[in-house]
A and B are shown apart, each in its own frame.
Chain A
Amino acid sequence: MAPVKLANVRKSFGAVEIIQGVDVDIVDGEFLVLVGPSGCGKSTLLRMIAGLESISSGEIAIGDRVVNDLEPKFRDIAMVFQNYALYPHMTVERNMGFSLEHRGHSKSEIAERVQWAAQILDLAKLLDRYPRQLSGGQRQRVAMGRAIVRNPQVFLFDEPLSNLDAKLRVVMRAEIKSLHQRLGVTTVYVTHDQVEAMTMADRIVVMNGGKVEQIGTPLELYDRPANRFVAGFIGSPAMNFLPGTITRAGFEAGGVTLPLPGPIAERDGQDAVYGIRPEHLALDGEGLEAEVLLVEPMGSETQVTLRLAGQQMIAVFRERISARPGETIRLRPDVAAAHLFDAASGARLN
Chain B
Amino acid sequence: MAPATSPTGSDHTGSRRRPFWTMERRDALAGYLFIAPQLIGITIFVLIPLCLVFWFSLHEWNVLAARFTYTGAANYKALLSDPGLGEVFGATAIFSLGLVVLNMSLALLLAVLLSQKLTGITVFRTLFFSPVVVSLVAWTIVWSFLLQKNGGLNAILQVFGLEGSNWLRDPTTAMISVIVVQVFKNVGLNMILFLAALQGVPKELYEAARVDGVSPFKQFRRITVPLISPTILLTSIITIVGSLQVFAQIAVLTQGGPGMSTTVLVYYLYQQAFQFHRFGYGSTLSIVLFVIVAVLTFVQWQMRKRIVFYER
Q: What is the interface of chain A, defined by CB distance below 8 A to chain B?
A: 50-52, 71-73, 77-79, 81, 83, 85, 87-89, 98-99, 102-103, 146, 150
Contact = CB atoms under 8 A, between A and B. Distances in A.
A99 B212 contact: yes
Given A85-B202, A85-B204, A102 B211 contact: no
Contacts, number: 56
A34 B160 CA distance: 63
Contact of A99 (B204, B213, B226, B309): B213
Given A81-B204, A81-B207, A88 B212 contact: no
Nearest to A158: B204
A85 B218 CA distance: 17
A81 B208 CA distance: 8
Contact of B210 (A71, A83, A89, A150): A71
A85 B223 CA distance: 12
Interface string B200-237: 00101101111111110010001100110000000000
Contacts of A146: 208, 212
B310 interface: yes
A98 B205 CA distance: 12
Contacts of B205: 85, 87
A78 B227 contact: no
B242 to A, nearest CB: 28
Contacts of A78: 211
B197 to A, nearest CB: 14
Contacts of A50: 211
B310 A72 contact: no
B208 A79 contact: yes
B213 A103 contact: yes
B214 A88 contact: no
A79 B226 contact: no
A102 B212 contact: yes
B223 A72 contact: no
Contact of B212 (A51, A52, A73, A89): A73
A77 B215 CA distance: 16
A198 B65 CA distance: 96
A83 B211 contact: no
Interface string B247-262: 0000000000000000
Given A85-B205, A98-B222, 16 more contacts: A51-B211, A73-B210, A73-B211, A73-B214, A79-B207, A81-B208, A87-B223, A88-B310, A89-B227, A89-B309, A98-B212, A99-B212, A102-B212, A102-B213, A102-B214, A103-B213
6 tightest A-B contacts by CB? A73-B213, A99-B212, A89-B310, A85-B204, A85-B208, A89-B226
